[in-house]
Amino acid sequence: MNQAIFQQHIFPIRHKLFRFALRITGSAHEAEDVVQEVMEKIWKSPAEQSETVQNWEAWCMTLTRNRSLDKTRSQSLRRTASLDGLTERPNGTSNQASTVENRDLADQVKRMMQDLPEKQRLVMHLRDIEELSYEEIAEVLNISLDQVKVNLHRARKTIREQLTATVNHIATI
């Protein structure tokens, strides 16, 4: 690995790798370790290997996913990552009440996402939070494009149904 490639392609995505590792491991400390190990592995990779990489971000995300899953499995941890560090994008036209409502809704969706099956949760995180393309998600998770679409559809449908049930429950009170 040469320094120019590392600085241009790898270093700028370190925070994205951390968020992804945090999503899988559930621990900031473990996620930091994972990212450090992945960065070290990438830096020490042979030059021939770096010449074959076509999508640096997808390759790094795959390495991060694999290392996070290995670490989680080896320690028998259950993934319970907090999404408290994630913030919503500010909307200049919203007033204080709607800002609070939006924050509450975002927190509720984040809690619902934690209860999704792992593959659905990861696909939804990569698409809706990390904003990866379907193809990049398929490459990162090593699944087919159809599986990405199905898992994303099911995850969104589950969240939508839970939100609708919550709204209906509140409306009856």
Q: How far apart are CA 88 and CA 85, in angstroms?
A: 10
Rounded CA gap, 21 and 38, in Å? 10
The residues spanned by each domain of the chain are: 3-75, 96-172
What pLDDT score was predicted for residue 32? Answer: 94
Q: Which residue from 70, 82, 144 is spatially nearest to 107, judged by alpha carbons?
A: 82
Q: What would the CATH number be for the domain defined by 3-75?
A: 1.10.1740
In words, the CATH class of domain 96-172 is mainly alpha
Would you give the end-to-end CA distance of the chain in angstroms?
Answer: 61
pTM over 0.85: no
| Amino acid type, 40 | E
Q: Please list, residue by residue across 13-24, b when 16 or more beta carbons sit within 10 angstroms of its beta carbon and e when fewer do.
A: beebbbbbbbbb
pLDDT truncated to tens, each residue of the chain (173 aa)?
788 888 898 889 999 999 999 888 888 999 999 999 999 998 888 878 778 888 889 889 999 999 988 887 776 433 334 444 444 455 454 477 777 877 888 888 888 888 999 999 999 988 988 888 899 899 889 999 999 999 999 999 999 999 888 877 777 77
Q: How many residues does the chain have?
A: 173
Predicted local distance difference test score (pLDDT) of residue 124 = 92
